[in-house]
Amino acid sequence: MYRFFIFFTIFACTLPALTVNGIVQNINNSHISFVIIQVPSSKRWTIADEFGHFTIKCDVGDSLLFNRYGYHQTYAIIKNWTDLLITLNNNPILLDRVESFSKLLSSTHFSKTYETDSAYNGNISSIFNQIPNAQLRTYGGLASNATLSIDGGPGSHTKVVYEGIDITSPQNGETDVSQLPPDIISSIAVATQPGVLFGSGTTDGIIYLGNSREQTAISFSKGSWGRTSWSASTFNHFPNLKIQTAFGQRSAKDNYKVTWREKSYDRKNNHFNQTYVTSSLAGSINQRLLANGVFFYSSQKRGVAGQIYSPSLEAKREDELMLLALNTTYLFSSGFITGSIQTRQSDEKYIDPNYNIDSRHKLEKYSLKLKAHARFNNTISLYFQGNSETEKIISSETNSHSRKNLSSFISSKINIQNSITIQPTIRLDNIGNHYNALTYNMDIIWQQTDHLKYIISGGNSFRAPTFNDMYWTPGGNADLKPEKAIKLMTVTSWGKNEQYFDLTFRYIESKDLIQWIPGDNIWSPENIAETVRKSLSASGSTSISTYTISGFISRLWTRDLQQNKALRYAPELSGNIIVSAKLKKFTAGISGCFTGTRIAMYNFPDDEMLPSHFIPSLFIQKNFKIFKHPLSINLAADNILDTQFETILGYPEPGRSFYFSISIKQ
């Protein structure tokens, strides 16, 4: 479907550096968009996003220079790994640069960012386990689909965004993250509210995946069950332009033995082969005009093992995913305007000769966005976004369909006495020719001290029916209504130096949920389900000498009002803990992920249950230098107790596994 030839040249890159995250704000604690951050000693630079967030590589002792049209030039000295909160003053006249001192970046209003560099141990779940209240559900092994959900909800209620591109499939409303190789995910940010930024399918939150690895490197890995991979990347930076390109390949036999209900089985037809390429560029045309772009393509060939009690030894699936985005931003002293063009395209083929299945699904999504932000004074600012989107499907199971979606929202941020911020938001969506949705959100943030913050957020959300819901043959229902939900969230966030603690409570009440039910001869979807969910989670991190301890514990209360039972696949308790130690040339850590008992299927008189499980893992990393080039060797072991467990009933996960990787950087 897609064929690309990429030519590039590898040259100069910096020596090993630490990664610093931060936010840039004004004197009224409002974020400043698209600030240019430079490291004069290495000539590295980056541009903060529209919410003022930035990530840059530098060394302890380096100075960071902050430039933004309409503000004083400011700099900060890096003293440790602490995240930065930088304040810029308005710039009515040109002045010499002034020094800014950094302080701890506490939890942002609705998100927390997690780095993945040392988390990966050969299983994709390892980079998502650190996210509070998140569940990754797979069908066992690398070859299976992998979907993310939050707070026990379905995957169609969690939006996944990669480098600003919505990668959710319009066919089923979910995202298969197995199409994204872990090498291109360097950070994960979770925003559980508000969902008005992306509209449909954001009831439970938005997961932002980022790739900020700016490096020239080559890496190889080897793991259990024939898992191998290699990747190469190149990074070039100029005074006003930087380009990052990476490509690689992953493969696995993944045929493993499991014990399921006291019987032994061999999981076969689990082979997986993935090739991928990605490239990004960012630059400043002049002081006020910025541009950036992202391209990604992956191709997967995989076996489909089927359920443990009904294996499919000849089924196979081939799928491709392509993402492309181009963004241009014009800066004003009091805001910005951004225009974006994005596309998501996929092609999937599934064949199972045993059941005479030969299906194909081609999807295309094109989006044109216009964003604008304006600050009228030190108290009030407005944010506007308009979006025109076209979704198309050509499928053997739904035939050919398309729909055009229009949306717009406006948000106002009002600062009261520099410590209280009120942010009302309203959004209007028109989905195809059938659905309209009005969503709203009200946020109140009280920054009591430099280290203590309180958040209250309330609003509603919706999910429009997908192409499968409306047009699947047989059974599709074109008369479905959008799912609806009301939400409330409170957060208490404390942070000081390299420590933080967050306590979050959420309440979600959903109705008109789409559920497939049996009819005379076929299954068909109807708006019949209603659910109530409450969650309480505590997460935090602390450092003691060279040791860092981080983790979370979550409690879920869920209810399917039809069944009067807890929701399927929603554990009452879940948690994760990571203990790591950083020495001069040596890093090691151990982690443990706990998932409580879950209902997998409603039955009478007894429900099908998935038992609780605790999965410990460990890793060790050693850094060397060969001919002045940094060399890293990683060893990891996952599921070291060899626990047999499932995330989806009938699809047992692999047992104990080992992983080895080596990488060298220029």
pLDDT over 60 at 247, yes or no: yes
**How many of the other CB atoms lie within 10 Å of CB of 399?**
12
Predicted TM-score (pTM) of the model is 0.90
Report if residue 27 sits inside a domain: yes
CA distance 104 to 190: 19
Task: Tell me which amino acid residue 56 is.
Answer: I
Can you give the CATH number for the domain in which 306 is found?
A: 2.40.170.20
Q: Name the pairing type of β-strands 586-595 and 573-582.
A: antiparallel
- Helices and strands per DSSP (H, E), number in the chain: 1, 43
CA distance 367 to 386: 10
Residue carrying the six token digits 């080895």: 660
> For residue 531, what are the β-bridge partners?
510, 560
Per-residue confidence (pLDDT) for residue 98, from 0 to 100: 40
Per-residue confidence (pLDDT) for residue 8, from 0 to 100: 31
Could you tell me if 568 and 447 lie in one domain?
yes
Percentage, residues of the chain above pLDDT 90: 66
Lowest mean pLDDT among 106-115, 498-507, 599-608, 638-647: 106-115
Task: Tell me which amino acid residue 480 is.
Answer: L
Q: How far is CA 476 from the centre of its chain?
A: 30
Per-residue confidence (pLDDT) for residue 73, from 0 to 100: 86
DSSP result, 123-191: SGGGGTTTSTTEEEEESSSTTS-EEEEETT--GGGEEEEETTEE---TTTS---GGGS-GGG--EEEEE
Per-residue pLDDT tens over the stretch 347-374: 999 999 999 999 999 999 999 999 999 9
Q: Taking a C-beta distance cutoff of 8 angstroms, is the pair 160, 168 a contact?
A: yes
Could you tell me if 93 and 214 lie in one domain?
no
Per-residue confidence (pLDDT) for residue 86, from 0 to 100: 84
pLDDT over 90 at 171, yes or no: yes
Could you tell me if 63 and 212 lie in one domain?
no
Angle at the Cα of 337 from the Cα atoms of 333 and 341, rounded to 5 degrees: 155
Q: Name the residue range of residue 53's domain.
A: 18-99
pLDDT over 90 at 506, yes or no: yes
Give the model's confidence band at 119: pLDDT under 50 very low, under 70 low, under 90 confident, else very high. Answer: low
Could you tell me if 506 and 639 lie in one domain?
yes
pLDDT over 90 at 62, yes or no: no
Q: Long-range contacts for 229-238 (Cβ within 8 Å, ≥24 apart)?
A: 229/181, 229/183, 231/181, 231/183, 234/8, 234/9, 234/10, 235/13, 236/8, 236/9, 236/11, 236/12, 237/43, 237/44, 237/45
Mean pLDDT calculated for residue range 30-59? 86
Percentage, residues of the chain above pLDDT 70: 93
Give the model's confidence band at 91: pLDDT under 50 very low, under 70 low, under 90 confident, else very high. Answer: low
Q: Determine if the peptide bond prior to 40 is cis (ω within 30°).
A: no
pLDDT over 90 at 28, yes or no: no
Per-residue confidence (pLDDT) for residue 378, from 0 to 100: 80
Token reading at 499: 């420590």
Report if residue 247 sits inside a domain: yes
- Across 202-206, 493-497, 581-585, the highest mean pLDDT is recorded for 202-206
Per-residue confidence (pLDDT) for residue 104, from 0 to 100: 37
**How many of the other CB atoms lie within 10 Å of CB of 216?**
21
- In 3-state terms the chain splits into helix, strand, coil percentages (rounded to 5) of 5, 60, 35
CA distance 258 to 263: 8
- With CA atoms as reference, report the closest residue to 243 among 289, 287, 278: 278
Per-residue confidence (pLDDT) for residue 100, from 0 to 100: 41
Per-residue pLDDT tens over the stretch 418-464: 789 999 999 999 999 889 999 999 999 998 998 899 999 999 999 99
Q: Return the sign of the alpha-carbon dihedral for residues 38, 111, 120, 104.
A: positive
Per-residue confidence (pLDDT) for residue 446, from 0 to 100: 92
- Across 10-24, 67-81, 91-105, the highest mean pLDDT is recorded for 67-81
Average pLDDT of every residue of the chain: 89
pLDDT over 70 at 596, yes or no: yes
Q: Taking a C-beta distance cutoff of 8 angstroms, is the pair 479, 465 a contact?
A: no
Contacts of 298 by beta carbon, 8 Å cutoff, 6+ apart: 179, 180, 181, 274, 275, 276, 320, 321
pLDDT over 70 at 275, yes or no: yes
Mean pLDDT calculated for residue range 14-40? 77
Which of 79, 99, 119 marks a domain boundary?
99
pLDDT over 70 at 16, yes or no: no
Which of 38, 72, 99 marks a domain boundary?
99
Per-residue confidence (pLDDT) for residue 82, from 0 to 100: 67
- With CA atoms as reference, report the closest residue to 84 among 105, 111, 112, 55: 105
Give the model's confidence band at 81: pLDDT under 50 very low, under 70 low, under 90 confident, else very high. Answer: low
Could you tell me if 437 and 584 lie in one domain?
yes
Q: Return the sign of the alpha-carbon dihedral for residues 189, 192, 198, 200.
A: positive
Could you tell me if 92 and 212 lie in one domain?
no
CA distance 624 to 631: 5
Task: Tell me which amino acid residue 307 is.
Answer: Q
Per-residue confidence (pLDDT) for residue 118, from 0 to 100: 65
CA distance 591 to 131: 13
Mean pLDDT calculated for residue range 470-492? 95
Could you tell me if 297 and 436 lie in one domain?
yes
Which of 99, 114, 135 marks a domain boundary?
99
Per-residue confidence (pLDDT) for residue 404, from 0 to 100: 97
Mean pLDDT calculated for residue range 169-187? 94
Per-residue confidence (pLDDT) for residue 5, from 0 to 100: 33
Could you tell me if 277 and 409 lie in one domain?
yes
Mean pLDDT calculated for residue range 637-646? 95
Can you give the CATH number for the domain in which 67 is found?
A: 2.60.40.1120
**How many of the other CB atoms lie within 10 Å of CB of 663?**
18
Report if residue 300 sits inside a domain: yes
Q: Taking a C-beta distance cutoff of 8 angstroms, is the pair 598, 639 a contact?
A: no
Which of residues 74 and 138 earns the better pLDDT score?
Answer: 138
CA distance 572 to 535: 9
pLDDT over 70 at 258, yes or no: yes
Report if residue 186 sits inside a domain: no
CA distance 527 to 396: 25
Per-residue confidence (pLDDT) for residue 12, from 0 to 100: 31
CA distance 149 to 154: 6
Number of domains in the chain: 2
Report if residue 219 sits inside a domain: yes
Report if residue 215 sits inside a domain: yes
Report if residue 2 sits inside a domain: no
